[in-house]
Structure 1
Amino acid sequence: MSKSDPAPLGPVQVGAEHVTTVQTRRAGTVPLRHTVPGLLRDPARTLVECGERSGGEVVKINLGSFRPFLITHPDHLQRVLREKSDNYVRAGDGLQWRPLKRLFGDGILGDGEHWTNSRQILQPLFTARRIDGLVDRLAVAIEESIDELAEPARTGEPVDMGDVQAQVVCSAIMRVFFADKISVPDAMRIMKAQDQIAWSVMPRILVPWAPLVAPMPGDRTFRRAVQLIDDLLMPTIRAARETVDEGTDDIISTLWRGRTEDGGRLDERQVRNDTVAMVATTTETTISVLTWLWPHIEQDPAIAARLYEEIDQVVGDQPVRREHLRELRYTRQVLDELLRLYPIGWLFPRTAVEEDIIGGVRIPAGSTLVVSPLITQRMSQFWDRPEVFDPDRFSPELVRKRPKYAHFPFGGGPHQCIGMHLFYLEATLIVATLLSRYRFRLSRPSVPGIKVAAALRPLERVEVTLRPVQGAAA
Structure 2
Amino acid sequence: MPTLSPPAGCRTIALGKTVRGMCTGGLLGALNQVQEQSNGHIGQLWLGPFRPLVVSHPDHLDHILRRNSGNYTRGTALWKALRRLTGNGITGDGAPWRVSRDIIQSGLSARCLQEMGDPMLTAMTSAVEDLGRRAVRESSVDSLVEMQRIVHRVINPVFFGSRIPQMQCDRLGTAVSTALRGAMRRMAVPFVPLAVPLPGDRSFRRGRNTVFEILGPVIERARNRPCDGADLMTRMLNGTHPDGRPLSAEHIMYDVIALFFAGSETSAATLNWVWLLLGRHPEVAAEVGREADRVLAGGPPRREHVRRLTYTHMVISEVMRLYPLAWMLGRTAIGDDVIDGTPIPAGTTLALSPFLTHRLPQFWNRPLEFEPGRFTREAIRARHPLAYLPFGDGAHSCVGQAFFTQEATLVVATMMNRYDVTVLNDGPPRFTWTMNPCERVRLRLRPRG
Equivalent in 284, 288, 294 of residue 275 of structure 2: 294
Provide the C-alpha distance between the structure 1 equivalents of 2:383 and 2:439, rounded to a whole number of angstroms: 33
- The alpha-carbon deviation at position 200 of structure 1 amounts to 1.6
Q: 1:64 aligns with which of 35, 42, 48?
A: 48
Aligned pair partner of 1:459 in 424, 435, 438? 438
Q: Give the aligned residue type for 2:94.
A: G
Alignment of 1:131-210 (within 5 A): 131-155=113-137, 157-210=139-192
CA deviation digits over 1:67-114, x for unaligned, max 9? 2111111011011112222211110xx232121111111111111111
Q: Is the 8 A contact 2:143 2:443 kept in 1?
A: yes
When structure 1 is superposed on structure 2, of 57-66 and 161-170 the one drifting more is 57-66
Return the offset for 1:465: 1.0
Choose which of 68, 88, 91 in structure 2 pairs with 1:109: 91
CA contact (8 A) 2:358 2:387 kept: yes
Find out whether 1:236 has 2:218 as its counterpart. Answer: yes
Which 10-residue stretch deviates more, 189-198 or 36-45? Answer: 36-45
Contact (CA 8 Å) 2:177, 2:207: kept in 1 or not?
Answer: no
CA distance in 2, matches of 1:349, 1:276: 20
| Aligned with 2:201 (options 219, 228, 251) | 219
Q: Distance in 2 between matches of 1:54 and 1:191?
A: 38
Q: Report if aligned partners of 1:285, 1:423 keep a CA contact under 8 Å in 2.
A: no
After TM superposition, give the deviation of residue 303 of structure 1 in Å: 0.8
Among 407, 419, 426, the alignment partner of 2:400 is 419
Does the CA-based 8 Å contact 2:34-2:43 persist in structure 1? no
Paired letter, 1:386 = P
- Offset at residue 232 of structure 1 (A): 0.5
Say if 1:161 and 1:291, in contact at 8 Å, map to a contact too: yes
Larger deviation, residues 196-205 vs 211-220: 196-205
Q: Which amino acid aligns with 2:38?
A: S
Counterparts of residues 415-454 of structure 1 (less than 5 Å): 415-453=396-434
Deviation, 1:199, is: 1.9
Residue 38 of structure 1, CA deviation: 4.8
Asked if structure 1 preserves the Cα contact closer than 8 Å seen for 2:314 and 2:375, the reply is yes
Q: CA RMSD in A?
A: 1.7
Query: What is aligned with 1:16?
Result: none
> Is 1:278 the counterpart of 2:262 in the alignment?
no
Report the counterpart of residue 17 of structure 1 in structure 2. Answer: none
User: What code does the residue aligned with 1:384 have?
Assistant: N
Aligned length: 439
Alignment of 1:89-128 (within 5 A): 89-91=73-75, 94-128=76-110
C-alpha distance in 1, partners of 2:132/2:191? 51
Equivalent pair of 1:161/1:462 in contact (CA under 8 Å) = yes
Query: CA–CA distance in 2 between the matches of 1:153 and 1:269?
Result: 40
- Whole-Å separation in 1 of the counterparts to 2:32 and 2:386: 16
Go from structure 1 to structure 2 and tell me whether the alpha carbon gap of 1:155 and 1:60 turns closer, same or farther (over 3 Å shift): closer
Q: What SS is found at the alignment partner of 1:70? A: strand
> What amino acid sits opposite 1:55 in the alignment?
N
SS of equivalent residue, structure 2 residue 171: helix
In structure 2, the residue corresponding to 1:449 is in which secondary structure? Answer: coil
Residue 342 to residue 367, structure 1, CA distance change in 2 (3 Å): same
Cross-structure match for 1:332: 313
| Alpha-carbon contact 1:442-1:465 (below 8 Å) kept | yes
- Tell me, yes or no, if the aligned pair for 1:56 and 1:73 is still in contact at 8 Å: yes
Q: Does 1:73 align with 2:53?
A: no
Separation (CA, whole Å) in 2 of partners of 1:311 and 1:86 = 44
Q: Secondary structure at the match of 2:243?
A: coil
Change (3 A) 1:153 1:213: closer
Give 1:36's aligned amino acid. Answer: G
Instruction: Please tell me whether Structure 1 or Structure 2 has the larger radius of gyration of its CA atoms.
Output: 1
- Scaled by the length of structure 2, the TM-score of the pair is 0.94
Equivalent in the alignment of 2:29: 45
TM-score (norm 1): 0.89
Instruction: Give the counterpart letter for 2:125 in structure 1.
Output: E
Question: The residue matched to 1:31 in structure 2 has which SS?
Answer: strand
